[in-house]
Amino acid sequence: MTFALVALGDAPFDLDFTLASTATYGTEARKDINGTQLLWSGDVTFNGAVKYTGSGNDRDPILQALGGVVPTATITGYQQEDVNMDGTVKYTGAANDRDPILQNIGGVVPTATRVEQLP
């Protein structure tokens, strides 16, 4: 979401959210990776916040999508639990979908949250 209103007209225009110069609403609405601005991943529950622990966390649905019993199981395809968007839902091991949630809330305090930047 842009910081200010953008007038839409008949002529097409580019609005590039990957550029740091594109002002966005709120604070820390995007994550900088090597100079490219990205959206935060991890809101598996679509509740407006990225949470690693507690009720309504985004970590548990990943395990539930895998059947809830075998944490080493995987499933492939387009799934909302595929946090890293590699086409595989994975709870443990390399390139799992659980770790980005912890990293995106700061990586140190598992009870921290990151809230969406919506007006």
Residues 34 and 49 in one domain: no
Residues 83 and 55 in one domain: yes
CA distance 61 to 47: 13
Residues 106 and 74 in one domain: yes
Residues 76 and 34 in one domain: no
Residues 29 and 46 in one domain: no
- Would you say residue 119 has pLDDT above 80? no
Range of the domain at 91: 41-115
Residues 30 and 62 in one domain: no
Tell me the average pLDDT of the chain: 93
- State the pLDDT at residue 10: 94
CA atoms within 13 A on the CB side of 13: 8
- State the pLDDT at residue 1: 82
CA distance 116 to 50: 8
Helix ranges restricted to H, the chain? 60-65, 99-104
In the chain, the number of structural domains is 2
CA distance 40 to 6: 22
Q: What is the pTM for the complete model shown? A: 0.82
Residues 108 and 50 in one domain: yes
